Amino acid sequence: MEWTDHVDQLLLDGERERERIELESAIVVVTTHRVLAFTPGRDGADFRVVDRPNVRNVTVDDDGSRRTAGWTLASGILGIGLLVTSTVVDPGRIVGDVDGDGPVSGVVETAFQVAETVLTGVELALFGGGLLLLALSLLFGLRYGHSRSRRLVLRIAGDDDLDLPVTDADLEAGAVPALEAAIGPESTESGPVDGPNEGGGTPDPDRDGGIDRRDGATR
């Protein structure tokens, strides 16, 4: 059962539908009193209602994982730092050469060679770690880009904001200004609030307060 086809069953006495805005993944119905939002298929409630005076404004927000953005930035900075460090470190310059002959100098030279080998391994590890972190930064960046989405947000006074999924097509169709105009108090002045008399007739100017002015008789 689609409740969007039976909005009249949700209206209060004297309440009437004024505007219906159909988004790609949601339907918003603005009445003379309230805003009815239908979001079937989303997590949480499929329906929410808000009194029109409590809607402060309508905005469009970009939604993305801040944690993913943080990991993207951190891994990128660390990766660049490790790559720069690996290019600066020169094991041969740090260890240097050993001058002299004899058994002592041979032992020292062997120790320096071992140290140079270790430093070379450290240099390669820094370079490989830098490349790995840059690759992770790229992956996090792609994930962050896919996680970003636009939301149509109704800022609600005294309650949680109402978030609605919105697409570029919805925005190009003018969903935001249409919703703002429908929710604003001026929209109630744009159309008749009182409906026609029963039977489709028009009010009789000769009748007022139940008195028939033509013969002066009280009904």
Domain ranges of the chain: 3-64+173-193, 67-147
Residue from 183, 188, 185 nearest 57 by CA? 183
Residue 68 has pLDDT above 80, yes or no: no
How far is it, in rounded angstroms, from Cα 116 to Cα 99? 16
4-62 pLDDT, tens digit each: 778 888 889 999 999 898 888 889 999 999 999 998 877 778 898 999 999 998 888 77
State phi, psi for 208 to the nearest 5 degrees: -155, 125
150-174 pLDDT, tens digit each: 788 889 998 888 888 888 888 888 8
Query: Would you place residue 101 in the very low, low, confident or very high pLDDT band (cuts 50, 70, 90)?
Result: low
Identify the H or E element spanning 146: helix 103-147
Please give the single-letter amino acid code of residue 42.
R
Please give the single-letter amino acid code of residue 154.
L
